[in-house]
Structure 1
């Protein structure tokens, strides 16, 4: 750090004819010594000294940083917590600003307090200022590469508990004796890496929690990550000019960053990705048709549903096999409703998670409006319509609307979270609906992707 002046005199081992000094590409001296005079404002310079001897050239480059910088260092794709100097303590009008950056793939999350958080996808030097009135400090953040390159895909599964559903105990397969830990490991085997397969979340509320080996940076104006499902569009929808729909089974998304830096989603606060239907479905293009079909289009923000272990897997007096059971799994919710889930003829295994020892399981979360319509009017062609944005297994994986913007995250009070990035993701099934012979809507989850590491730039929308 140069605050006033510095005299530079290189050590010369052999005879030279000339010594030339270039500051940011401009010749500033032709002498054996050079005195650098620091300007009043902080800055960074590239200084090259060239030694000439009988046509040969030797060069040395150095970086000079001037002014009263406060220096910070962090690896890429991780969160750096910034603390302003003590002179800003108690100030309520503190302003943080990036004044120069080598890339646009960074995030500064700050309020009017003396702390802020910074993260960058790319390495380089970033100059920031923190100010309050006439008080100003300049910060220089050096972002360096980590020892090991991060993976753009899911790295670890921390929790997995599907709600009762027709694919439960099949994807992934449950075997007698499997424990809670065993099934988490099986889900992890399916979801980790580029060649991820699929796991089911079952009925409403079923969930999976996973993480990445780095922080996914929240870059302004872009969608930051996506999680694959198996959504697809209807190929022969009889409804004219229908909005997008087919097999859309939206999973609600929650995100968190590793605030306590212990590598686990334990005490870290979860934030809700505010999807287009998280508060109401009235803005969805299929809403009027769903109302006309007498779907339950209510949205419950604090919903709870309890499933009971089925009394039987095969109706009395019938052989074991593909037999439908109407009153199969009893359920009740915190809205005073109750009923039974149906066992269909396509899946004979138990729909209740086989590794769960308890006879009742309760799930909590947002219950979205029912998006499935019988477009045939005869019970043989159901279309599950897509919500506009913000969910997993809601649009085909290649569609831009499968991308998630971390800037959609809100806290428990509904305020914008302004997160610098996220390390952990929770996805749970947001739909509770039986769709005739198709059975219940069940979110499926597959490969997770950091879009920035994959070099994919998908523009966001401002809800």
Structure 2
């Protein structure tokens, strides 16, 4: 009787321990999608060959991210990686998660010297997803410092698979001047549609194919936000890629890797496709996409790198002293304050719809006029 009871207690304890371990939240990253755009580090970070499959590449990315320190290259503009943890990331006070790249400042900056904010800075735009599965998830961009002023929001580009790995070359450092052909379209600041076409060269320092070898397509198309170019060529052999400002925020791989504050991200920065803030209490997915379409001569394309992703709220003591970044104010939308008979809108405590109707009860996630300003409740 004693032995049977003891065995039952031991079994119950083991099952309880396993159950608790199974539900424990961890920092282990799962990679759901890895689709880099063509680039000089593609097929190297991580390694790939003609036998590699999409599942192979997702798993290799997971290994690199969870090893904390190795980097994944997303290639030129549009290349992206989609990740998740074994739990949703909660939206709490301050920044909610961390994305580290391999950014660094230049030792010798001809313009700023020791006060430089330039070097290897390759910003990636961050998107967050909410939903039970990847196919039906709703996606939102985290509005970084350039979102409302300098970002193009509908940049689309198609890359064409090269027909040869070597060709005529006259450009400095090139082994093939017209290597990767591309076509792109976007809407400019005046609202006019623009388009352009050209080639990326292949440089002598990376001679493997720049086309993702596990992709069986002859064309790859990417679309999303596009940030301003940030590189300056001081001479053919020396380029510097700058941050947009000392306090620029909201982009992966856009500051030195040891700058944890500006490597952190706040779910409260999420906006919808119209640029309106949305109220999210959590996110399920993170997507990082190379956000600049820029080629720097022999140095190659600007390509965002990712080395690790961290749920900050799982770090002991973090929530007691979180990272705080004050976002840029959104420029005026030109919306006039509603005039409601019998109420003094400016400065009063009531909430109104954008059409001027006073509401008795506000709903989470909707936009209202409150004390003369647009707010998201």
Whether these two folds match at TM > 0.5 is yes
CA RMSD of aligned residues (A): 2.0
Aligned residue for 2:215, secondary structure, equals coil
Mapped to 2, the partners of 1:180 and 1:149 lie a distance apart of 29
Structure 2: stretches of 5+ with no match in the other structure: 1-19, 186-193, 329-377
Confirm or deny that 1:381 pairs with 2:253: no
Larger RCO (CA under 8 A, 6+ residues apart): 2
Offset, 1:194: 5.4
Mapped to 2, the partners of 1:358 and 1:161 lie a distance apart of 12
Check the 8 A contact 2:270/2:277 in 1, yes or no. yes
Offset, 1:373: 0.8
Alignment partner, residue 87 of structure 2: 214
Structural mapping, 1:45-444, within 5 Å: 148-151=23-26, 153-191=27-65, 193=66, 195=68, 197-220=70-93, 222-240=94-112, 244-258=117-131, 260=132, 264-281=133-150, 299-315=151-167, 324-334=175-185, 335-374=194-233, 376=234, 378-387=235-244, 388-399=248-259, 400-444=261-305
Offset, 1:363: 0.4
Structural mapping, 1:2-21, within 5 Å: none
Mapped to 2, the partners of 1:203 and 1:240 lie a distance apart of 27
Mapped to 2, the partners of 1:323 and 1:329 lie a distance apart of 13
Mapped to 1, the partners of 2:276 and 2:168 lie a distance apart of 53
Confirm or deny that 1:461 pairs with 2:326: yes
Deviates more, 1:388-397 or 1:178-187: 178-187
Alignment partner, residue 43 of structure 1: none
Mapped to 2, the partners of 1:170 and 1:420 lie a distance apart of 37
Offset, 1:238: 1.3
**In the TM superposition, what whole-angstrom CA distance separates every residue of 1:33-59 from its partner, at most 9, and x where no partner exists?**
xxxxxxxxxxxxxxxxxxxxxxxxxxx
Aligned residue for 1:188, secondary structure, equals helix
CA separation of 1:316 and 1:379: change in aligned 2, threshold 3 A: closer
Q: Return the index of the structure with the highest Cα Rg.
A: 1
**In the TM superposition, what whole-angstrom CA distance separates every residue of 1:208-255 from its partner, at most 9, and x where no partner exists?**
0000111211113x1111111100111110113765111110010000
Mapped to 2, the partners of 1:373 and 1:186 lie a distance apart of 34
Aligned residue for 2:201, secondary structure, equals strand
Check the 8 A contact 1:204/1:432 in 2, yes or no. yes
Aligned residue for 2:210, secondary structure, equals coil
Check the 8 A contact 2:109/2:116 in 1, yes or no. no
Offset, 1:418: 1.2
CA separation of 1:181 and 1:147: change in aligned 2, threshold 3 A: closer
Aligned residue for 1:461, secondary structure, equals coil
Mapped to 1, the partners of 2:307 and 2:267 lie a distance apart of 19
User: What TM-score, normalized by structure 1, do the two folds share?
Assistant: 0.60
Offset, 1:200: 0.6
Q: Where is the strand percentage greater, Structure 1 or Structure 2?
A: 1
Check the 8 A contact 2:127/2:288 in 1, yes or no. yes
Mapped to 2, the partners of 1:195 and 1:367 lie a distance apart of 28
Check the 8 A contact 1:165/1:351 in 2, yes or no. yes
CA separation of 1:247 and 1:316: change in aligned 2, threshold 3 A: closer
**In the TM superposition, what whole-angstrom CA distance separates every residue of 1:92-120 from its partner, at most 9, and x where no partner exists?**
xxxxxxxxxxxxxxxxxxxxxxxxxxxxx
Offset, 1:257: 2.5
Q: Where is the helix percentage greater, Structure 1 or Structure 2?
A: 2
Check the 8 A contact 1:154/1:447 in 2, yes or no. no
Aligned residue for 1:452, secondary structure, equals helix
Mapped to 2, the partners of 1:328 and 1:358 lie a distance apart of 17
Check the 8 A contact 2:183/2:198 in 1, yes or no. yes
Structure 1: stretches of 5+ with no match in the other structure: 1-144, 282-298
